Structure 1
Amino acid sequence: MRALFFFITICCLSSSVYPQKSRYRFAESYVGLATEFSPQQQTFSQIENGRIIHKDLPNQLHPRILIGGTHFWGHADFYLSIPLASFPLSGNKDATYSNNVITGFRFYPFKLKSQSLRPFTGLGFNRMSLQLANGPTYGNWQTFTEAGLSYRTKQHFILGVSAHYFPNTTFQTAIDREQFSETKLNNYTFSLSIKKVMDFSRSYESENNQRFFAKLKEELKQENKLNTYSVGLGWSAYIPLERSEHASRKPFFNDEIEGNVGLDMALGYYFHQTDAAIRLSYRRHKQEETAFDYSYSLNKQSLALEAFKFLFDFHGFVPFVGPFAARDYYHLNEKDVQRTVSDHKEESWGYGLVFGWDIRLSETDFFILRTNLRYNPKVDLKQNGLTYTSNAIEFNFIQLVFYPERWKAYKSLINQ
């Protein structure tokens, strides 16, 4: 909630301070690389030959891919940071940990421009994970803070250095099925990064392109194709907001078993006059955990009908919100040393709220980037008297949305 409040505040400030700015200078995209260093000073516990021993946590280096963009004319930065690997530099390799995929927002009080060094502060959202040999993967979803410096070169590279503070780094870890100990990771990590900026929208500002898009809109209007269908493709992360009774009956499991990142496919129809859309979406997610020869998995497939309304267009940033109804298919499976404990299948109706935003360059873009979030309220499904579902958020940071009819009209007009 703090991150959402901070983001809304920045939007409001930007809309009042920069109303004269062009929508085509609103955002620039980038890709890049980063390396994250995680120093450690603590130990973790394991059982060897019937005795509890303590080992040093390893210092680790995490190379990452960065995908994102600067927004609000160089005053904000939204990004995804995706880990590629983990390299232990010292300590014992029986413990591994990661900050996993990071979704972050940075605020530049002074505009980031060419050949300038600028400070920033930021907020991010991630799941810190820790796994000890033969044990489960423990996870802490949390909001972190960061600060650093960025320098933009004349060749449109952004060089950065940053420090990050993660507030929730303490885990109650299982040594075996019955014994537990506390393991604490360092609250701080440090990063170096390089990003290449790409501006796909600046050419839209020319008079020739403005006339072209006005003509394209008129042709679509004459052909009654301003209302049109779309196809979407992206990746959606499943984030449980609470533990389930069924999984948490095993104390050596993580309280909230993490969901995977699954394919998010959609077929939609857009209504131009009302600036709204309906959409049929399909997602497939899996929550699974294995520890001390006990395995747990919950597969969920969801086919949803969604309806949402775009609220406003702020220089190409277009938020939306609406309800959805879904038909969900569950498969719960548990094994204890290869002996099947549960094998349960069930169908259920679901409902929830979908919200997010589009990045639009014009009213007739044939290709846009969309961010989707879905709130799934708990459905009271039970196995052996215990619920195995929980409240959850699905987060699709980048969905590629394609409008075939607009593409056909665009090609036809280009070839005239």
Structure 2
Amino acid sequence: MKKLLSVIWFIAFVFALQAQDSTKVRLNFAQTYLELGTNIYPSFTGRVWETSEGGVNQQHPLSFSPMLNIGGIHFWGRGDFYISVPFASLATSSSDQVKAEISESVVTGMRLMPWALKSGQLTPYLGAAWIVSNFRQKVDQADNPLFNKNELRLDGGFLYGKQDWLFRLGVNGYPKHRLDYPVDATHFQTIQTPALSANLGIIYTFETTAKGMKPEVANQLNTYANFSKPDEAKSHFGDWFFGIGPSTSFVLESSAYNQKKHAFVNQRSISKTYLDLALGYHFNQARMVTALAYRHVPFKEKAYGLTQNTVKNSLLFETYYYLLDYHGFTPYIGLNVGIDKLVIKENEALVAEKNQVTPGITFGWDILPGKTEQAFVLRTNLRWVPFQKISINGEIHSMNQLEYNVIQAVWYPSRKKWYK
């Protein structure tokens, strides 16, 4: 099924590229937007454990999950790439004793429009997203866990608006809408969460690329071919840069220690949001970057009297190479090595501590209208650390993780001087 979906989206993506008008240029390739929206989840049936009767049904009511979406309309109105930042899960009470919350904490997705988005025109879209969904079912004052899972979300709907304002009406579909939830420290119940949710949003779009740019500069940028070299512009040897941005880490492998000792917590933890701080040097003519990055990565699992805190402090050295430039979308790939300290505590008691050097892979992309003269750059970093782990009482606690630095603001101080 996943392979079929991938083929369908690839065909649609190629179709969208082939449908482009050759008169369209680099500086109107993308438009940024902010969207205030909400997901509306219908009522559904949960399962509550009762020692005398086993599992019994519990009806959970309609709920809302408001969020801020940050994205860009790409390919001249045919593609939409976005991330979502949730505010909260707003659920009406199931009963005096039982409450439930359902939400999505990390969403990264794309939508394709078969007809280019235009002012005053109703435009349909289809899309897919990688999401982290959250579920908690709280009974009385019990310390029930917040369960997370990575999954695919499909969506479709319509956009309509004029000039800078758009309205969205859509439907989200969840192919895997069930989970085994620990209703207490020893018992699990299968819960069918909603297969569909409605999506409403109001969108404000704005143009930042060409605004305030001198006509001769804009004309020069628009002369670049669709696919060009990242170092095509005349440039000096290199520049220092500083970067900062929010990140989240996802453990990709289950913990053998938690499976044996604490089966009622998430076996693949997701970190709290943290800052990625970077200092690096961009070798303009060589299309390469070397950088140092510092991250304080906190994980927390809490349920049924257990509070497990895992903290990773990491100083990482990485180097990567820019592959190509497609209208300002500039992907790169490289290697990294981290000097890490892992500390794990349970209810404030130290259970494991380790210093280690861990290799990994760095990949991502820059979004920029210019080339190596661009002083301010938006960068997305992903780092895969497949070999990291720590032993707790003879059992392996995997830290095989993917770091997702969603949007990093990167500043090259010297480029402003060179650009002038």
Same fold (TM over 0.5): yes
Tell me which amino acid in the other structure corresponds to 1:114. S
Pair 1:102 & 2:113 matched? no
Read off the aligned partner of 1:88 and give its amino acid letter. Answer: A
Letter in 1 for 2:245: G
SS in 2 for 1:91: coil
Could you say which residue in structure 2 is the equivalent of 1:312?
324
Deviates most, 42-51 or 120-129:
42-51
Instruction: Kindly indicate whether residue 252 of structure 2 is the aligned counterpart of residue 241 of structure 1.
Output: yes
Structure 2 CA distance for aligned equivalents of residues 11 and 120 of structure 1: 12
Native 8 Å contact 2:351 2:392 kept in 1: no
If the length of structure 2 is used for normalisation, what is the TM-score?
Answer: 0.88
Q: Which residue of 2 aligns with 1:231?
A: 242
Q: Which amino acid aligns with 2:177?
A: T
Residue by residue over 1:328-352, the C-alpha shift from the partner in whole angstroms, topping out at 9 and shown as x without a partner, is: 11001113xx7x3x43221111111
Cα distance change on mapping 1:8 and 1:206 into 2, 3 Å: farther
CA distance in 1, matches of 2:50, 2:196: 28
8 Å Cα contact 1:236/1:263 also seen in 2: yes
**1 CA distance for matches of 2:18 and 2:237?**
31
- Runs of 5+ unmatched residues, structure 1: 215-219
Contact 2:13 2:112 in 1 (8 A): no
Q: 1:116 aligns with which of 121, 124, 127?
A: 121
8 Å contact kept, 2:390–2:399: no
Give the direction of change, closer, same or farther, for the CA distance of 1:205–1:315 in structure 2 (3 Å limit): farther
Q: Are the equivalent residues in 1 in contact too, given 2:40–2:197 (CA < 8 A)?
A: yes
Q: Which residue of 2 aligns with 1:378?
A: 387
- Tell me, yes or no, if structure 1 residue 132 matches structure 2 residue 137: yes
Quote the residue 2:33 is aligned against. Answer: 30
Residues 115, 123 of structure 2: 8 Å contact kept: yes
- 2:45 maps to which residue? 42
2:92 match: secondary structure: strand
Are the equivalent residues in 2 in contact too, given 1:140–1:169 (CA < 8 A)? no
Counterpart position of 1:63:
66
- The change in CA–CA distance for 1:79 and 1:213 in structure 2 (over 3 A counts) is closer
Q: Does 1:399 align with 2:408?
A: yes
**Cα distance per residue 1:233-259 (max 9 Å; x no partner):** 111110111211112222222222222
Q: Is this contact kept in 2: 1:311–1:320, CA < 8 A? A: yes
Residue aligning to 2:357: 349
Q: Deviations over 1:352-402 (max 9, x none)?
A: 111111111112111011111111103242121111123221112211111
| Among 340, 356, 360, the residue aligned to 2:368 | 360
Using the TM superposition, give the Cα deviation of residue 106 of structure 1 relative to its aligned residue in structure 2, in angstroms: 0.4
Task: State yes or no: 1:72 paired with 2:81.
Answer: no
Change (3 A) 1:248 1:287: farther
SS of the equivalent of 1:302 reads: strand
Task: Give the letter aligned to residue 391 of structure 2.
Answer: K
TM-score in terms of structure 1 length: 0.88
Q: Which moved more, 1:365-374 or 1:17-26?
A: 17-26
Structure 1 stretch displaced more, 73-82 or 47-56 = 47-56
CA offset at residue 56 of structure 1?
1.7
**CA offset digits 1:104-126 (Å, max 9, x no partner):** 10001110011111100001011
The one-letter code sitting in structure 2 at the alignment partner of 1:393 is L
SS in structure 2 of the partner of residue 201 of structure 1:
coil
Q: In structure 1, what is the Cα distance between the partners aligned to 2:386 and 2:286? A: 28
Q: How many residues align?
A: 399
Secondary structure, counterpart of 1:248 in structure 2: helix
CA deviations on 1:261-313 (whole Å, 9 max, x unpaired) are 21111111111112111111111212211111012121111211111111011
Partner residue of 1:261? 273
CA contact 2:93–2:99 (8 Å) conserved in 1:
no
Taking the aligned partners of 1:272 and 1:123, their CA distance within structure 2 comes to 35
> Which ranges of structure 2 fall in alignment gaps of 5 or more residues?
223-232
Identical positions, percent:
27
Q: Which letter does structure 1 place at the counterpart of 2:58?
A: K
Q: Which residue of 1 aligns with 2:165?
A: 157
Q: Deviations over 1:72-119 (max 9, x none)?
A: 111100111211122223524522121222111000111001111110
Q: CA deviation at 1:132?
A: 2.3
Instruction: Give the deviation of 1:44 after TM superposition.
Output: 2.7
Q: CA deviation at 1:33?
A: 0.4
| Farther-moved stretch of structure 1 (401-410 vs 362-371) | 401-410
| Closer/same/farther in 2, CA of residues 5 and 304 from structure 1, 3 Å limit | farther
Letter in 1 for 2:316: A
In 2: Cα distance, 1:19 partner to 1:206 partner: 25
Asked if the contact 2:27/2:218 (under 8 Å) is kept, the reply is no
Residue 92 of structure 2 is matched in structure 1 by 89
The structural deviation recorded for 1:43 is 2.4
Map of 1:141 onto structure 2: 150
